[in-house]
Amino acid sequence: MSSISGPEVPGVLCEQPARSVRGAHTEHRLIEGDNLAVMAALMPDLGGTIKLVYIDPPYNTGKNFTYGDKMGEGWSEMMHPRLVAAHQLLREDGAIVIHIDEHEVAQLTLMLDEIFGRENRLGTIVWDKGNPKGDAKAIAVQHESIVCFAKDKSQFHPLQQDKPNVEAMLDKAAALMKTMGRVMLPPDLAQAASRYRLPEFALGPHRRARTLGDINKAFGHWLKTQRSFRPGERAYAKIDTNGAVFQAVSMAWPNKKKAPDSYFIPLKHPTTGRACPVPQRGWRNPPATMDRLLAENRIVFGADETTQPRRKYFLSEVRTEGVPSILRDGSSDDRRLAKLGVPFDHPKPLSVATRIVRWFTHQSTDIVLDFFAGSGTTGHAVLAENRTRRAGLRFVLIQRAEVVGEKSAAQRAGFQTVIEMTHARLSRAIAQMDTEAEPCPNEDRGFIVERLQS
Ligand SMILES: C[S@@+](CC[C@H](N)C(=O)[O-])C[C@H]1O[C@@H](n2cnc3c(N)ncnc32)[C@H](O)[C@@H]1O
């Protein structure tokens, strides 16, 4: 039990053991109460410790869902003190990530500029939901915004994500390398022959031991058929003698100003020993770097000295990339929640929430706070991410006991308040995870329930 003595909202957090799930063995928390008062109560213990505040506040659409979403002018007044409290709860290397739509995105960004400082903007992700709103008279909006600010940008970790197709490409290359020397049809002929039923006597004479050239051709054919791959990924289309996948990039001096004289030393072809052509404006790198690249087998030569050498960039060294400003995800979690028996209106998709949790947490014991918990998607995402990453991230969710809409699906399903839905979703998701594949040791699949009492 922790108490606060703030002048405005003194409150005490009381554990509710009967509602907790594996209460003795968990660090996750679900707290019932108004989020401003609860954050004040958390401040003595958690002030300056939260790595990620991830929230999805009411958008002020003027409609009512499972929860009320009609605040008019009062929206900013409601949000401002809560964002100030979030700022105080964040660690110096933490960040806040907020879902919002066109109704309040401008107002929200201005408020964050004031509280967090413009210099701490991390950017806004445009979440493309792929489905324009049907009732629009003006532009049919098909996106929402995810506004991201660091507490102190200079201390925030670099935002990176795994490139989606790298593993598949490396696996394919490794599989093809295993066919080296095997007696097979050359790739072009094999592809053409696959369209006809040709007798063995016609094909047989063409079979020969597979070379690296054949393997590269087969890899190129395969890449062409991978429609979901992006141009940047397709560029890694070559395999070298060691089986490493690479792209060959020009090593020409990039500036208009002429390169120094030492940047014009020709490279010798490794088999003919003759000088290869130097780019017109010289090399991009000084001689020492060129020597290192040569020694590390990072320069690719043509069949003879007539081809200008290029630099190799290995796919295995660029497994991650920056987080782009557009997130395409048209999924809906209505079915997932229906399966869990929790008919909450417009839950955020778990696929979006897990990505946010993955990108914006860094150490394996980071704390994630969501003080507009709704159906508990953020908690579910933390549980899922912990399993994927074998991590020990902790969630703190706050949700008030808001009465569900009159005659809503939630009411028909027997729920009286939103916090009951949060609890049901989390405990049922955990029950489901309990039955899934072997959990990792010490996986925290529980949560303590607390209630703010004033
Ligand atoms: C847009 S919903 C969040 C939905 C959630 N991201 C999900 O995926 O299910 C906003 C939630 O904030 C809750 N809420 C609004 N004002 C609150 C307050 N002052 N304190 C605590 N919860 C509040 C509402 O009851 C509602 O459940």
* Residue 10: predicted pLDDT: 62
* Residue 226: predicted pLDDT: 95
* Residue 137: predicted pLDDT: 82
179: CA distance to ligand 1 center in Å? Answer: 56
176 phi and psi, to 5 degrees? -65, -40
Ligand 1 atom closest to Cα of 422? 9
279: left (phi over 0), alpha (psi -120 to 50) or beta: beta
The three-state DSSP-derived secondary structure of 4-48 is: CCCCCCCCEEEECHHHCECHHHCCCEEEECCHHHHHHHHHHHHCC
Query: Which ranges in the chain are annotated with CATH 3.40.50.150?
Result: 2-159+323-453
What sections of 333-446 are H helices per DSSP? 334-339, 350-360, 377-389, 409-412, 418-435
Residues 134-153 as b/e (b if ≥16 CB within 10 A, e otherwise) read eeeeeeeeebbbbbbbbbbe
**Proportion of the chain in helix, strand, coil states, percent, rounded to 5:** 35, 20, 40
- Taking only the tens place, the pLDDT of each residue in 92-112 is 999 999 999 999 999 999 999
Which of these, 433, 442, 444, 431, lies nearest to 368 by C-alpha position? 444
pTM assigned to the model: 0.84
* Residue list, ligand 1 pocket, CB within 6 Å: 34-35, 56, 58, 67, 344, 347-348, 372, 374-375, 377, 398-400, 402, 418
80, 378, 398, 399, best to mutate for ligand 1 pocket (most atoms within 8 Å of CB): 399
Strands (E), 253-357: 299-300, 310-314, 320-322, 326-328
Given pLDDT bands bounded at 50, 70 and 90, which one contains residue 439? low
Options 3.40.50.1970, 3.40.50.150, 3.40.190.10, 3.10.129.10; which CATH number does 2-159+323-453 get? 3.40.50.150
Q: Of 57-66, 143-152, 260-269, 425-434, which gets the smallest average pLDDT?
A: 57-66
Ligand 1 atom closest to Cα of 353? 8
418: CA distance to ligand 1 center in Å? Answer: 8
Distance, C-alpha 272 to centroid of its chain: 48
Positive/negative CA dihedral, 427, 35, 91, 153: positive
Q: What percent of the chain has pLDDT over 90?
A: 83
The mean per-residue pLDDT over the stretch 335-362 comes to 96
Take atom 6 of ligand 1 and give the residue whose Cα is closest: 56
CA distance 335 to 20: 26
- Report whether 216 contacts 176 (CB < 8 A): no
332: CA distance to ligand 1 center in Å? Answer: 18
Give 436 or 290, the one with higher predicted confidence. Answer: 290
338: CA distance to ligand 1 center in Å? Answer: 19
CA distance 314 to 299: 11
CA distance 2 to 40: 11
Take atom 5 of ligand 1 and give the residue whose Cα is closest: 374
Ligand 1 atom closest to Cα of 374? 27
* Residue 270: predicted pLDDT: 94
98, 348, 372, 421, best to mutate for ligand 1 pocket (most atoms within 8 Å of CB): 372
165: CA distance to ligand 1 center in Å? Answer: 36
* Residue 9: predicted pLDDT: 52
Which of these, 86, 64, 61, 88, lies nearest to 75 by C-alpha position? 61
Residues sharing a CB contact under 8 Å with residue 179, sequence separation 6 or more, in sequence order? 210, 215, 218
Give 188 or 387, the one with higher predicted confidence. Answer: 387
Take atom 3 of ligand 1 and give the residue whose Cα is closest: 374
pLDDT at 212 over 50: yes
User: Could you tell me the two tokens for 78?
Assistant: 């409601």
Residues sharing a CB contact under 8 Å with residue 388, sequence separation 6 or more, in sequence order? 354
* Residue 3: predicted pLDDT: 41
Ligand 1 atom closest to Cα of 59? 1
Half-sphere exposure of 13 (CA within 13 A, CB side): 25
* Residue 393: predicted pLDDT: 98
The mean per-residue pLDDT over the stretch 334-344 comes to 95
118: CA distance to ligand 1 center in Å? Answer: 26
127, 402, 404, best to mutate for ligand 1 pocket (most atoms within 8 Å of CB): 402
Take atom 15 of ligand 1 and give the residue whose Cα is closest: 372
CA distance 351 to 370: 17
CA distance 109 to 112: 5
- Taking only the tens place, the pLDDT of each residue in 391-425 is 999 999 999 999 998 889 999 999 999 999 999 99
Give 66 or 428, the one with higher predicted confidence. Answer: 428
Given pLDDT bands bounded at 50, 70 and 90, which one contains residue 5? very low
Given pLDDT bands bounded at 50, 70 and 90, which one contains residue 2? very low
372: CA distance to ligand 1 center in Å? Answer: 4
Given pLDDT bands bounded at 50, 70 and 90, which one contains residue 70? confident
- Report whether 91 contacts 53 (CB < 8 A): no
439: CA distance to ligand 1 center in Å? Answer: 30
Give 120 or 192, the one with higher predicted confidence. Answer: 120
Take atom 12 of ligand 1 and give the residue whose Cα is closest: 372
- Taking only the tens place, the pLDDT of each residue in 223-269 is 999 998 988 899 999 999 999 999 999 999 998 888 999 999 999 99
* Residue 6: predicted pLDDT: 43
Residue 65 DSSP class: S
Given pLDDT bands bounded at 50, 70 and 90, which one contains residue 365? very high
* Residue whose pair of structure tokens reads 């996948």 in the numeric block: 245
| Angle formed at CA 347 by CA 345 and CA 348, multiple of 5 degrees | 150
SS3 163: coil
CA distance 237 to 220: 6
Give 4 or 80, the one with higher predicted confidence. Answer: 80
CA distance 349 to 51: 22
Which of these, 453, 372, 297, 361, lies nearest to 91 by C-alpha position? 361
CA distance 146 to 95: 12
Take atom 7 of ligand 1 and give the residue whose Cα is closest: 347
Amino acid letter at 163? K
CA distance 395 to 366: 9
| Angle formed at CA 215 by CA 209 and CA 219, multiple of 5 degrees | 155
Ligand 1 atom closest to Cα of 34? 20
CA distance 287 to 133: 58
294: CA distance to ligand 1 center in Å? Answer: 58
pLDDT at 150 over 80: yes
67, 334, 375, best to mutate for ligand 1 pocket (most atoms within 8 Å of CB): 67
287: CA distance to ligand 1 center in Å? Answer: 61
The mean per-residue pLDDT over the stretch 279-305 comes to 95
256: CA distance to ligand 1 center in Å? Answer: 56
Mean pLDDT, rounded, of the chain: 93
